[in-house]
Amino acid sequence: MSGKTVCLLYVSPNNVIRLTKKINTSTKVFSICCMTPSNMVVSTYGEYGHPLRMITQAGVESDLNHCKFPKKWYGYEESRCTYVPSKNTLVLTDKIAHTVYMYDIVKGTTIAVTNENIEYPRGACRGPGDTVLVCIGAMNSILHLTADGDILDTYQVDMTLPFSLCMAQDGSKLAVSSGNGHKKLMVYKLS
């Protein structure tokens, strides 16, 4: 993914990565997460009041008008997103505001999570038991939250500036990478 392009990749059982599709978008996108097998949500930058958009695998884009997003501009790398399907919860991290936003896309409600442990939130992913995991850059940690915004725990990671994370589909492993030139990738076994 770069600027106005989304690249869909396939990873084989032998860990060979192959480009399956390239989708051109009308806005600049940064992070991506599947909502359904055919719909994705992307975080955008450089567009006032629309930090998240939906996009189909066919390339059809739409706004999430029923969600009340912060009325602001997000710059490159200032926000990330994920989705928890069973909870209908869309998650947006706001690095500058030190906030994690939780949007219930069915009820139309928003929860803004702030805490002394949330300083420069970065990447987010669905966690075990339909929870949410968020990289906390300034604290070198991973924040564990419920989809309702309750903080469960904070886990220290052995890296500087954790940036992005992804959990295996079976929930057995968590991959965390660092950013800003530190270039470290850690894989944790979850129990």
Domains in the chain: boundaries: 5-189
pLDDT tens string 92-102: 999 999 999 99
> What is the predicted pLDDT for the residue at 148?
92
Label residue 2 by pLDDT band (50, 70, 90).
Answer: low
CA distance 112 to 176: 24
Q: What is the pLDDT of residue 70?
A: 80
Collect contacts of 46-55 with beta carbons under 8 A, ≥24 apart.
46/73, 46/74, 46/75, 46/76, 47/73, 47/74, 48/72, 48/73, 51/79, 51/81, 51/92, 52/81, 52/90, 52/92, 53/25, 53/27, 53/29, 55/6, 55/23, 55/25, 55/29
- According to the model, what pLDDT value does residue 21 have? 92
Residue 191: the pLDDT is 76
Rounded-to-integer distance, Cα 31 and Cα 84, Å: 15
pLDDT band at 77 (very low <50, low <70, confident <90, very high): confident
pLDDT exceeds 80 at position 134: yes
| Whether the predicted pLDDT of 48 surpasses 90 | no
Looking at CATH, the fold of the domain delimited by 5-189 is given as: Methylamine Dehydrogenase; Chain H (2.130.10)
Mean pLDDT of 14-31: 90
Q: Average the pLDDT over 109-137 and give the result.
A: 94
Does pLDDT of 180 surpass 80? no
Average pLDDT over residues 70-75: 85
pTM for the structure as a whole = 0.89
Is residue 120 over pLDDT 90? yes
Q: What is the pLDDT of residues 147-174, one digit of tens each?
A: 999 999 999 999 999 999 999 888 889 9
